[in-house]
Amino acid sequence: MEDTMPALVRAFVEHEREAALLLSEFMRHVARVARPYPDAYFVLSQKNSDAVDDLGHRAFSICTSVEKGRFPFSGRAPFTAYVEEQFDGKTIRYHSFYAKISITRELLRDDYAFNLRRNPVLRWRAELYADIGAILKATYEPVVQGRGVPPKWQPSGSGSGLRMLQPPEVVQARLSQLKQPSLDTLVHESIAQCGPMTQSRLTNMLEAVIGAPSDFQPEAAPIEENTADRMGVRTAVAEAWTALEPADQGLIIALSKGASYEELISGHPSLNNKVSVSRAVSRVGQLFLGSVIEAMGIEAAPDATPRSLMEPIMAMLSEIFPNDFA
């Protein structure tokens, strides 16, 4: 049976024909790829036909018009690259849907990352991942798994001696029996009993052991929607930003990216002493965050906590200064 995908893509790219047929094919494959993914990977953290349709349309739109830098697109929109490279149908489907790093899976990843920041339950998972990462970096060493694959972690200096390892399901059941163990203990026991593990695998296992909260009360009303004068806030962010010294701006950029101290001072060596860090923290607090929050009008959201105010500020910084905050 003839594979129609290459001809459909070519007709669409060169003559703007067969769009409906190509989109229909696209939606079929996107639905198939999306099947195993849980709710957390979809818009509004809900997996339903609308969310899968939305995913398919966005993947199609990216393939049509968004230039991608990575292999095999090399600065071209995917459909254009498929035609120019004369890819067969299997290769088109591979890069669009089924590869581990495909257009569709990249979108799913981005939606998941967004939900991890916004959904209260998922935030808990992301924070668990960060907490586990801090423990791993402090006391374990990475074991490279291969190109493009996250490392596994093992105790620093551990030799290659024989050890009796247990299946993760067994270890998970054992850890669940412990009475109020610390996260350090859970990480240590997991790796001691299962052997080296990746940070994400460890997170998923310990989430099952600890038990993610089933529901969260939002800590505060969303600020963005309550902000009466969005343009005013935008102006306040821009003005407060320009009032800062380069080192202060460097501190804000580093904090917004969750950078380590080493990453901070590699870009801003002047912050390599306590006085300068302390001064920058004060200036950022007073001259930037303080004045921006004042401009946001806290009266509009009296139940806001400091942390709930930060997401819209970060979003606005990304909008205004995309090169610094991308």
In the region spanning residues 242 to 261, those forming contacts with another protein, defined by CB under 8 A, are: 252, 254-259, 261
Residue 210 interacting with another protein (CB under 8 A): no
Distance of CA 40 to the CA centre of its chain: 12
Q: Which residues pair with 154 in a beta bridge?
A: 141
# chain residues binding another protein, by CB under 8 A: 75
| Percentage helix, strand, coil for the chain under 3-state DSSP, each rounded to 5 | 65, 5, 30
Question: Which residue in 135, 240, 247, 277 binds another protein (CB under 8 A)?
Answer: 277
Window 106-125: residues binding another protein (CB under 8 A)? 106, 108-110, 112-114, 116-117, 123, 125
The reply on whether position 321 binds another protein by CB under 8 A is no
The answer to whether residues 81 and 13 touch, using CB atoms and an 8 Å cutoff, is no
Largest CA distance in the chain: 72
Cβ 38 to another protein shortest distance, Å: 8
Q: What letter does residue 76 receive in the DSSP assignment?
A: B
Q: Tokens 């969303």 belong to which residue?
A: 222
Q: Between the CA of residue 47 and those of 38, 105, 251, what are the distances in Å?
A: 7, 15, 38
Among the listed ranges 37-45, 164-172, 181-189, 222-230, the one in contact with another protein (CB under 8 A) is: 37-45
Q: Residue 177 Cβ, how far from another protein at the closest point, in Å?
A: 26
The pattern of x and - marking residues 49 through 88 that bind another protein according to CB under 8 A reads ----------------------xx----------------
User: What HEC string does 120-136 produce?
Assistant: HHHHHHHHHHHHHHHHH
Residues in 182-201 that interact with another protein by CB under 8 A: 198-201
- Using the rule CB under 8 A, give the single segment among 16-24, 52-60, 141-149, 236-244 that binds another protein: 141-149
Q: Does 276 bind another protein (CB under 8 A)?
A: yes
Determine if 28 is a binding residue for another protein (CB under 8 A).
Answer: no
Which of 94, 121, 154, 224 binds another protein (CB under 8 A)? It is 94
Q: List the alpha helices (DSSP H) in 119-198.
A: 120-139, 168-176, 183-194
DSSP H or E segment with residue 143? strand 140-143
With binding defined as CB under 8 A, does residue 98 bind another protein?
A: yes
* Cβ nearer to another protein, comparing 33 with 186: 33
Note whether 305 binds another protein by CB under 8 A.
yes
Spatial separation of the C-alpha atoms in residues 64 and 13, rounded to whole Å: 8
Contact in structure between 213 and 167 (CB atoms under 8 Å) = no
Decide if 29 contacts 93 (C-beta within 8 A).
yes
CB of 112 to another protein, least distance (A): 4
